[in-house]
Each structure stands twice: as structure tokens, then as C-alpha cells.
Chain A
Amino acid sequence: MGGPVKVRIDPEICQGQGRCFSIAPGIFDFDDLGNGVVIGDGTLTSDTLELARLAQSNCPEHAIFIEE
């Protein structure tokens, strides 16, 4: 409780399926190899949380984690 909600991508699990940065380009970006990366430190606001959850539920590799 209380701490910021953060999103992260586990680079060991991510295979660059690209769903996250297509669905939520403000939250995720891609690196030179096309793998997903989180923009900034991944802190989510009440405005971006829902979109981050949608991206999470579309990642075929289950590589996206949202933690408090």
C-alpha cells in the first residue's frame, strides 16, 4: 500500500513479440533488437494503469509485471 505502482518487463522472458509497445506506446518502447523496454522508471498513474494492464494481458510470453 502507498508505494507507487510500477511496471517492468523481464528481459529473460520477453521475446520481442511487440504487443506492449503497439498497445501502449507511451509506457513501452523497443530496443535495437526489437525487445520491449519500459520507458523511464515504469511508474504508473491512475491514468496509465489500465493501459499497462491491457498490454500485460496481451503479452504472449507473460513477460510484463505490474507491482506495487
Chain B
Amino acid sequence: MINTHVTIQSMVLEKLKNMPLKFNFWLQILFILVFALVLFGPIVNLLIWTVTEVWYFPHALPSQWGFKYWHQVFNPYSNVSSSLFTSIIIAILTVCVCLLVSVPAGYALSKRSMPFRVFWMLLFLIPQAFPNLTVYMNIARLFYEFGLNGTLLGVVLVHSIHGLMFSVWISVAAFSTTDPMLERASRNLGAGPIYTFFHIILPQAAPGIIASCIFVFLESLDEFTGTFFVGAPDISTLPLLLYSASMEGNYQIASITALILLVPSILFMLIINKFMSPEMLSKLGK
């Protein structure tokens, strides 16, 4: 009798011990599911739309699947391919413009002795301080006077204004972390300031500058508002196309475009992961 008593007691104990664990376990599962739904729900929806040919409203799933719209998108004469091309050209040019400004500016501003240092640094932040719309509307008005509206150059400039904030600030950080003694050692061995800059200082700052380029590239690829005000309707980039496609209710084209926009982000994420050590990235903030 004592024996059974003990077994019952131990069973109860066991149950009590397992219960909170099981409860926790199910709670966790639920939490993860909800989280995944919130996070991936829209993406799953988007993925489904890319392979939909016919989908009527009350149905949970499309009634006709297929790759018809993919063919349409990757048709060399479709406006998706041409927009993709325009987008990439603009992004590359934007990176070039930002580099041209941010490398010298970043180097100059990394010197503590630079007069009005803080003022210059803040200058590149100012466009971000105002609501986007106001800034871009005014830029569009200004560009109109110079005949820049609707030109590739105009759009590149608008993207650069946005991108410069990243590139200048990150470049300043990158140059600030270079050891001034390395520069001295180079001068000491007979190299002039320009030779020293290209052979010693720039290689030290390169990881940060590459990171800033990637940011600028991605930002430019995703940029909508500025392009809309300055470029539309003559210049069509992927985000603009996405916008008009969804306005027209062409969700297939919009979804595929969105998917295409995702590719460079993931690609660069992998590059950053592969080529940049966390220490390097952590230095950026200093």
C-alpha cells in the first residue's frame, strides 16, 4: 500500500514537473507561429501572387497558377526589364557621385583641426531633417528651372542628396579610425601627401567606404519619392513601376518587381557578411 502511495505521489510530481514545461513549449510554438505569420504572411502572399494567373476575390487560393507574368516581365521589351536597367544605372551613378563627394569630404572632416567640422557634418543631415515630401517638391521645383526634371542626371542628383548622408557620415567614421601614425610613417619614408592618401589612408578606410557604397546603392534602388517628383514620367525605375502596377491592380507584376528588388539586398547582405568582420563594422560607429 505504501508502495502504491509512493508511485501515485511520484506520478503527480512528474505531471506537475512536466506541465509547466509543456505549457511553455506550446506557448512558444504559438508565439513563433504568430510571429512567422506576421513576418512572412505578406511575403507568402507576395510569392503566391507572383505565380498566379487568375485569382478571384472570395477564394483562398488562386484558381489558375502559372508563370505567364514572369515571361511578360522578362520579355526584353517589357517595361520591367527597362526599368530594372534604368534603376541599376541610376544606382551605380549615384554611388559614383556619392564617392566623389564623400571620400574627400570624409577625409577632410575626419581631421579634428578642420574648421566648422560639426557644421559641415550636419549639413549633410539637413535634408533628412525635413519631411521628405517637402524637400523633394522643392528640389523638383528647383530642378525644373535648370531643366533637370525628367532627366537621368536629375534623378541621380536627387538620390545622391539622400545617399550623401550615409556615405559622408560613414566615410568620416572610416577615416577617423585610421591610425595617423601610418600616415606619418609614409610621409617619413618620402611619400607625398597624395601618394600617401591613395596608398596608405584609402586602403585603411576601404571597408567602411565599401559599406557606405552598398548602403547608397540599396537606398537608390529602393528610392521612390524623389524619383517620383523629379523623374516621373520620363524616367521609370522599379519602385515607380511597382507603384503604377499596384495602382492599376496588376498585383502579379507588382509582386514580381518587389521580388526582383529583394535580390540585390540579399546579395549585398551576403557580401557584407562574407567580407566584413564585425569588428570592422563596429568601428564605423566610433
Asked whether A and B interact, the reply is: no
